[in-house]
Amino acid sequence: MDAYSLMPVKRPPIPKIVAQHAEGAAFQWLLRDAAARSANHNLVQLSRIDERVSAHLGGLQIASEAGWEACEEGLAWEEAGEVFAAAYLALSAASGARIDRVLELARTREDLCRAFISALGWMEWNHIVGRVHDFMESPDPQLRRIGLAAAALHRRLTRAELGTLLEDDHEMVRQRAMKAVGEMGESTFLPQLRHALLSKDETERFRAAWSGCLLGDPSFTGELCRHALIRGPHAEQACLMAMRSMACEDSFRWLAAFAKDSGDPRILVKAMGASGDPSHVPVLLERMSDPAMARLAGESFTFITGLDLTDAAVEGTAPDGFEAGPTDDPDDENVGRDPDEGLPWPEPDGIARWWNEHRIAFPSGSRYLLGKPLSRESLRSILQTATQRQRSAAAFELALHEPGKALFNVAAPAFRQSVIS
């Protein structure tokens, strides 16, 4: 036996296994995309999904050319998960031709573009910084927005870059830059945000007001309230941010007027939770008797009080015959997903008894999140242990509590969230 016969043989990757990695990366990313905004996933659970995403991506990288070929074939499905996987492999290889191939598809739909940006967000910053800067300096406004969004995900935008992009000649770039101002905590640009309130573009005014409020300037609240009332695409985000930036007495009066003016009932219930005001609890208890609003009202109750509605004493069951989201009936026009999927059903009588026993601990005039008065310590604790929706609320409150600090990104890869400063 000669020395050559003892050398390990490098075997080609098995096509079936490579295909499984490509399908797995796409599917697990879709799961984590939903989990990042979930009412019942916490950071530990998000981390487990992220580990599976990383494992599949690692398998594709080991497969080299076969891995890319499997991802490229997956692009034929024109789905977001496949775009994420292919974009990650193309960016990892720093292959301009492959990146262009993925971008060709990603630019055709907003959900696919989000997936491409997510892949940029997944990469280590030092690996993509040059690519991101090239995108931000591109003559193509869509590429400039992609680069800007990726840099914002990493919280790596400089003031000079923000200043340039806020004056971009394309509205979609300016709008994303205005959002980034709030995400980065850059109060230097408050004058530009105030000027943007004069724009004829509704989205531009919303983005400016949202960031202005996040930076701690209450003068932007009125614009957010207007967006909440006109029931446009930004109504919910506008209302929730407005409630977080108002004093309890002001938000209570405004929500009463909102209800009287037939404002969106779901936004109303969510806004009560965002306000953190115990004065809204009686209304939330009433809404728990309405099957269409019960779970959402329960969630808002938890946002204020911290009561875990999965406890046997306060968890109810779905009413007989209740259906939400799509059904098996081909004539049923209700084809949308259940918006409250994953939320527990409250047991109104048990919750009312709990409230009567504990209401003394929640005096009016103070704001609460998960049963605790807002403070840096309580918000940091929530960021470490709570569900993703609750963590998102804590991140917003912490930014409002400490103007000038960047908004903590609760949707970032979990391995970047291990240290909460």
Give residue-wise pLDDT tens across range 33-75: 999 999 999 999 999 999 999 999 999 999 999 999 999 999 9
The DSSP bridge partners found for residue 346 are 315
Beta pairing partners, 387: 42
Residues 150-168: tens digit of each pLDDT = 999 999 999 999 999 999 9
Q: What is the pLDDT of residue 262?
A: 78
Question: In the prediction, which pLDDT does 249 show?
Answer: 95
Which pLDDT score is estimated for 65? 95
Nearest-CA neighbor of 400 among 169, 143, 215, 261?
Answer: 215
Instruction: Give the model's pLDDT for residue 328.
Output: 43
List, for residues 325-346, the tens digit of each pLDDT value.
654 444 444 456 789 998 999 9
Q: What is the mean pLDDT of residues 383-400?
A: 97
User: With respect to CATH, is domain 165-245 assigned 3.75.10.10?
Assistant: no
Range list of β-strands (E), 318-416:
368-369, 372-373
What predicted TM-score, i.e. pTM, was given to this entire model? 0.93
- What is the reported pLDDT for 419? 53
Chain mean position to CA 231:
20
Domain boundaries, the chain: 12-154, 165-245, 262-319+342-361, 374-421
Cβ(269)–Cβ(296) below 8 Å? yes
Mean per-residue pLDDT, 132-148: 98
CB 321 within 8 A of CB 262: no
The pair phi, psi for residue 374, each rounded to 5°, is -65, 125
How much is the pLDDT for 310?
Answer: 93
Mean per-residue pLDDT, 396-421: 89
Share of the chain above pLDDT 70, in %: 94
| 67 Cα distance to chain centroid | 30
Contact 138, 147 (CB under 8 A): yes
Q: Which pLDDT score is estimated for 2?
A: 53
Average pLDDT across the chain, whole number: 93
Angle at 309 between CA 305 and CA 312, to 5 degrees: 130
**Please, which pLDDT band fits residue 365 given cuts at 50, 70 and 90?**
confident
Provide the pLDDT for residue 7: 54
Q: What is the 3-state secondary structure (H, E, C) of the chain?
A: CCHHHHCCCCCCCCHHHHHHHHHHHHHHHHHHHHHCCCCCCEHHHHHHHHHHHHHHHHHHHHCCHHHHHHHHHHHHHCCHHHHHHHHHHHHHCCCHHHHHHHHHHHCCCHHHHHHHHHHHHHCCHHHHHHHHHHHHCCCCHHHHHHHHHHHHHCCCCCHHHHHHHHCCCCHHHHHHHHHHHHHHCCHHHHHHHHHHCCCCCHHHHHHHHHHHHHCCCHHHHHHHHHHHHCCCCCHHHHHHHHHHHCCHHHHHHHHHHHHHCCCCHHHHHHHHHHHCCHHHHHHHHHHCCCCCCHHHHHHHHHHHHCCCCCCCCCECCCCCCCCCCCCCCCCCCCCCCCCCCCCCCECHHHHHHHHHHHHHHCCCCCCEECCEECCHHHHHHHHHHCEHHHHHHHHHHHHHHCCCCCCCCCCCCHHHCCCCC
Would you call 168 helix, strand, or coil by DSSP? coil
When pLDDT is averaged across residues 86-97 and rounded to a whole number, the result is 97
Token pair 């006109």 is found at 230
Q: How far apart are CA 41 and CA 107, in angstroms?
A: 30
